[in-house]
Amino acid sequence: MASSCQLTTMRSITTLQPCEMGRTKHPKKEVEEALRHAEEQGWRIEVGGSHACGRMYCPYNDPECHCGEFCIASIWSTPKNAGNHARQLKRVVDNCAIRKQTATAAGDEGGEE
C-alpha cells in the first residue's frame, strides 16, 4: 500500500516545477485532476512521503485566506477512496479561493454578531 506512490522520487520533500514542467502524475485519475485544479489556482505541489504522496501549499498562506490548517494539505498516494480524496482536495482549494474572492469583492470583513 505504502509503496505504490508513483509521485515519490525520494523520501524527503522535494520541490518540483509546476505540473507541465514535469511533476509526475498522481496514479489516481481523480486525484490528478484535483491537483491540476489546485495548480491552476496557484497552489504549489511538493512530492515526498510514503503513505503521503506529498503536500499542496496555498499560494496565500496567510490568516486572511481562511484556509487555516489546510493552507498545507497532505495528498495520499493510495487514499481509501480516490473520488472522495479528490473532492476533499478540491474543496480545500475552493474554500480558500471563494473566501478570498468574497472578502475582496464585498470589502466586508466584519465579524459575527
Shortest distance, position 12 Cβ to another protein, whole Å: 8
Q: Which amino acid is at 26?
A: H
Total interface residues for another protein by CB under 8 A: 33
Residue 109 is a binding residue for another protein (CB under 8 A): no
Which of 17, 80, 105, 109 is the binder for another protein (CB under 8 A)? 80
Beta-bridge partners for 19: none
Residue 6 is a binding residue for another protein (CB under 8 A): no
Shortest distance, position 27 Cβ to another protein, whole Å: 14
Q: Residues 38-77 vs another protein: string with x where CB under 8 A?
A: ----------xxxxx--x--x--x-----xxxxxxxx-x-
